[in-house]
């Protein structure tokens, strides 16, 4: 793994969290000039170094690019001759295309991974997109890693990956903001901050879990808890009776997708 920022660290912690999982048998080398290799690694199968090992001292099956996008051009070419026969590259760097990554890596197969923040607790959603030269075995290896941190969704091309980024990659930010606003509203009608947070987060967590387990569609579930002329009906009329919420969320995804296109 090249780079050890927040997302890289989150992914690695989950990959190493549970002994006995298939992915736990991997041996990782983390290369980042900011890490202290003298510090004891919290993971038994991880070696931390500040500089790339010499080409004749390593042969990586997979290089995971986890640096900031603006550093990829300078960093990735250093690993083209450090891959084993049949080795390949996976990247979590946003906005770096498969073609660009493959050229920088010397023409080896590349898979892009777009994880989101809940991967840090094993509840992420990761979008996956591979260039045509990636083998079924390479795709399976990346899928295994992605599923170790949550759900993995393959998309057909990079435009779909940008759209997935707008929905899932940026999605936790929308969720946190909606929850924050909901908590503030609960405080405004009389609850203290701690109680408001407990009520809101508990309600949202239970609602999402019920939606995941139920065979009913979301609109049917909404209807099932909405009595005619009751409190929920009154609240829903204020929330989205004129379609404002639908329009706002559509605008949110459109803006995020447009920005992803700009970053290509």
pLDDT (tens digit, 9 = 90+) per residue, 190-240? 999 999 999 999 999 999 999 999 999 999 999 999 999 999 999 999 999
For residue 147, the model assigns a pLDDT of 94
What pLDDT, on a 0 to 100 scale, did the predictor assign at position 174?
98
Are the beta carbons of 79 and 60 closer than 8 angstroms? Answer: yes
For 79-122, the pLDDT digits (tens) are 999 999 999 999 999 889 999 999 999 999 999 999 999 999 99
* Ordered DSSP codes for 109-160: -EEEEE--GGGGGT-EEEEEEE-TT--HHHHHHHHHHHHTTEEEEE-SSHHH
Q: Are residues 188 and 161 in the same domain?
A: no
Same domain, 185 and 120: no
Asked if the structure places residue 1 within a domain, the reply is no
Distance (Å, rounded) from C-alpha 99 to C-alpha 148? 27
Looking at the fold, whether 177 and 52 belong to one and the same domain comes out as no
pLDDT of residue 20: 44
Shared domain for 257 and 129, answered yes or no, is no
């Amino acid at each position: 793994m090249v780079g050890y920022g927040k997302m890289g660290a989150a992914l690695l912690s989950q990959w190493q969290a549970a002994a006995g999982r298939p992915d736990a048998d991997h041996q990782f080398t983390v290369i980042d000039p900011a890490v202290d290799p003298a510090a004891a690694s919290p993971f038994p199968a991880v070696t931390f170094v500040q500089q790339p090992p010499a080409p004749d001292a390593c042969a990586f099956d997979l290089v995971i690019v986890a640096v900031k996008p603006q550093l990829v051009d300078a960093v990735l070419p250093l690993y083209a001759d450090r891959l084993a026969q049949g080795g390949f590259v996976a990247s979590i760097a946003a906005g770096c295309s498969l073609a660009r990554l493959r050229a920088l890596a010397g023409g080896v197969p590349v898979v892009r991974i777009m994880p989101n923040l809940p991967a840090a607790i094993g509840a992420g959603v990761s979008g996956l997109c591979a260039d045509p030269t990636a083998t079924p075995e390479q795709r399976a290896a990346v899928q295994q890693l992605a599923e170790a941190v949550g759900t993995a969704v393959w998309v057909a091309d990079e435009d779909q990956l940008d759209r997935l980024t707008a929905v899932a990659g940026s999605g936790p930010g929308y969720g946190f903001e909606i929850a924050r606003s909901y908590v503030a509203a609960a405080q405004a009608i009389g609850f203290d901050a701690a109680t408001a947070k407990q009520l809101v987060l508990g309600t949202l967590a239970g609602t999402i879990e019920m939606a995941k387990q139920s065979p009913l569609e979301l609109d049917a579930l909404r209807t099932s808890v909405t009595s005619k002329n009751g409190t929920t009906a009154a609240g829903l009329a204020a929330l989205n009776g004129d379609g404002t919420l639908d329009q706002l969320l559509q605008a949110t995804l459109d803006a995020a997708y447009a920005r992803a296109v700009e970053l290509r």
